[in-house]
Amino acid sequence: MSKTAKPDAPEFRLYGRAQGKPLSARQQGLVDDLLPRIGLPESGPVDAAVLLPHCRRQVLEIGFGGGEHLAAQAARAPDTGFIGIEPFLNGVAKALTYIDEQGLDNVRLARADARELLPLFTDASLDRIFLLFPDPWHKKRHAKRRFVQQTTRDAFARLLKPGGQLRIATDVKSYADHCMSEFRQDDRFVWQASKADDWRIAPADHITTRYETKGLGDCAPVFMDFVRV
């Protein structure tokens, strides 16, 4: 196992910070000792069912931030495997703290840009994908940096099993519009909303994160649930 997988995939530029304030001694210890034990393979295919053979379902969270949502979902569903990918070291360290404190054995982590790792995942291997409050990159000239693009739509379609679920949440109106434009034109995904409350009200299984409570966006959170056909 390794701290960060090194896939044979195109090299991407990571925008934004990779690390914030220095880690505490405990956090650094978890990064040095626990992360390699629950990391992803250094090379070759990533098969979630092989990584977490005791789990019935397999879930991926992209950009898990501080790990509150990831850890809480994993604690709630011990028979489900959770893989989290996050490039920000401090967020990874926080997630490791939750995993260690709660003794979660159904989580695997990678400190990486998810765009580099998605090509390594095996086809139709995931039951669910979370992409919660990704960086919206407000400026028009930065739109290409947004995580939701045709390439990631294709990756999600490849990785999700038929009937698999994708949840995207954002508190930025332009990003919500961007996501809907991308996915409503793709007949591999079916939007699950039938009325306004379906995207205005947090789903019953949603876990609110610290970032979400800050209300940094320009609109109330929008929750977009899609099903892979």
| Active-site amino acid positions | 135
DSSP state of 51: H
90, amino acid identity: N
Residue 182's H or E segment, with its range, is helix 173-184
Q: What are residue 24's phi and psi, to 5 degrees?
A: -70, 165
Check: CB of residue 136 under 8 Å from CB of residue 175.
yes
93, amino acid identity: A
Q: CA–CA separation, 49 vs 69, rounded Å?
A: 21
Q: Which residues contact 19 (CB under 8 A, 6 or more apart)?
A: 88, 89, 90
Q: CA–CA separation, 99 vs 165, rounded Å?
A: 24
With vertex at residue 96, the alpha carbon angle to CA 90 and CA 99, rounded to the nearest 5 degrees, is 150
19, amino acid identity: Q
Check: CB of residue 60 under 8 Å from CB of residue 130.
yes
Beta sheet of 222-228, edge-to-edge order: 107-110, 80-85, 57-62, 126-132, 160-170, 222-228, 189-191
